[in-house]
Chains A and B, each alone.
Chain A
Amino acid sequence: MIRTQRPAAAVCALLAALAAGIAFPGPAVADETDQAAPKVELVLDVSGSMRTADMDGGTRMAAAKQAFNDVLDATPEEVQLGIRTLGANYRGNDRKEGCKDTAQLYPVSTLDRTEAKTAVATLQPTGWTPIGPALLKAADDLQGGAGTRRIVLISDGEDTCQPLDPCEVAREIAAKGIGLTIDTLGLVPDAKTRDQLSCIADATGGTYTSVQHKEELTDRVGQLVDRAADPVVTPVATEGTGQCSSAPALKSGLYTDREEFGQQRWYKVDVKPGQELRTSVSVAADRAVDANYGVLLRAVTVHGREIVRGEASGTGRTDVISTGLRYPKAESDDDEDTTPETVCLQLTNSFSAAAGVKTSPGLPVELTVDVVDGPSKAGDVASFGLGRGWWLLGALVLAGFLAGLVWGWVSRWRVAVWRTN
Chain B
Amino acid sequence: MWITRVLSTALLTVGLAAGPAVADSSPSPSASEDSGAPTQAGTSFRTATELDQGQQGTAGGSTGDYLYWSFPADTGRRPDVRATVKLPDSHAAQTWQIDVYDGLRRRQSCQYGAQTRTAAQGAGTVELACVLRTVRAWSEPWSDDPLPGTYYIRLTVLNLSSADLGQPVSAEVRADSKDIGGSAAVDGSLAKPLVPGIAVKSESGDGDKKAAVLSSFGSDDGWSSGWWTDRWVWTGIGGVLAALAGIGGYALTRGTGRPSRVPPGA
Contacts and interface: CB of A to CB of B under 8 A. Distances in A.
Contacts of A278: 103-104, 194, 199
Interface stretch (B117-125, B172-180, B183-191): B183-191
Nearest to A189: B166
B212 A6 contact: no
A372 B206 CA distance: 17
Interface in A184-215: 186, 189, 191, 194-195, 197-198, 205-210
Nearest to A373: B191
A281 interface: yes
Interface string A257-287: 0000000000000000000101111100000
A392 interface: yes
Given A32-B210, A402-B249, A209 B166 contact: yes
B214 A233 contact: yes
A412 interface: yes
Q: Which range holds the interface residue count of chain B?
A: 35 or more
Contact of A208 (B62, B246, B262): B62
Contacts of A216: 168
Nearest to A230: B47
B92 interface: no
Nearest to B22: A3
B177 to A, nearest CB: 18
Contact of B188 (A27, A308, A379, A412): A379
Contacts of A32: 210
Contacts, number: 304
Contacts of A310: 104, 106, 144
B35 interface: no
A198 B163 CA distance: 12
B212 A388 contact: no
A355 interface: no
Max chain B C-beta neighbours (<10 A), residue from A208, A227, A320, A326: A326
Contacts of B202: 372
A319 B202 CA distance: 30
Contacts of A405: 249-250, 252-253
Interface of A: 1-3, 5-6, 9-10, 13, 16-17, 20-21, 23-24, 27-29, 31-32, 186, 189, 191, 194-195, 197-198, 205-210, 216, 219-220, 223, 226-227, 230-235, 252-254, 276, 278-282, 308, 310, 312, 316-317, 319-320, 322-328, 366, 368-389, 392-393, 396-409, 411-412
